[in-house]
Amino acid sequence: MPYVIAGPCIDVMDKSCMEECPVDCIYEGERKLYINPKECIDCGACEPVCPVEAISQDRRVDAESAAFVEDNRRFFTETLPGRDEPLGAPGGAQKIGRIGADTPMVSQR
């Protein structure tokens, strides 16, 4: 997973990162944005535009935010509340639209 969005995005979701992403791999949950690890090309365009500095490469996530690396993956591999199956790699956030659900880790914060 090249890039991860951590806790500072919760309840902020500025979406500047979505506008900068050349492959449309940033998906909108209910309270937070998530980067699809199978679709991200590791370009880094999203990182400098995040106003709350929530985005970093998975190998550079600070210890306090380390749980978000796995949680970001779960958003795509596990069935989210109100959905029938995992999101997987649908090939672009714009064609799917707002997901409207979060992982348990985010929804319980």
- Note the pLDDT tens digit of each residue in 10-44: 999 999 999 999 999 999 999 999 999 999 999 99
Domain ranges in the chain? 3-96
d(C-alpha 81, C-alpha 84), whole Å: 8
pLDDT attached to residue 61: 92
d(C-alpha 67, C-alpha 45), whole Å: 23
Examine the pLDDT at 78 and tell me if it is beyond 90. yes
What's the topology of domain 3-96? Alpha-Beta Plaits (3.30.70)
Examine the pLDDT at 1 and tell me if it is beyond 80. no
91-109 pLDDT, tens digit each: 999 999 999 999 999 998 8
